[in-house]
């Protein structure tokens, strides 16, 4: 069930239509290929950055690219 995820985001403006987001996703996100799927989702939106599993069970991500694509990725993360 992905409805129990929490999303803690720190959006950062890099100027213009380019944005960066640093987010922590909690809930059922490890052991379900969430990190790999997040990478695929980010790549499909032409975003750069990284995603990693944390010891406390959360997933941390940092993504940079077009603001609308960042917002779209964050909406996907919150599903």
Active site residue 35: yes
Asked if residues 23 and 77 have their Cβ atoms less than 8 Å apart, the reply is yes
Active site residue 53: yes
| Among 37, 53, 67, 78, the one annotated catalytic | 53
DSSP one-letter code for 24: E
Left, alpha or beta for 57 (phi > 0: left; psi -120 to 50: alpha)? left
Q: Which residues are catalytic?
A: 35, 53
């Amino acid at each position: 069930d992905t409805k129990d995820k929490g999303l803690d985001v720190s959006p950062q403006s890099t100027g213009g239509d380019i944005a960066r987001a640093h987010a922590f996703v909690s809930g059922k996100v490890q052991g379900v290929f969430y990190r790999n799927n997040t990478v695929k989702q980010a790549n499909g939106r032409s975003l750069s950055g990284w995603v990693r599993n944390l010891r406390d069970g959360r997933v941390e991500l940092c993504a940079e690219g077009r603001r609308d694509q960042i917002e779209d990725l964050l909406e996907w993360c919150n599903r």
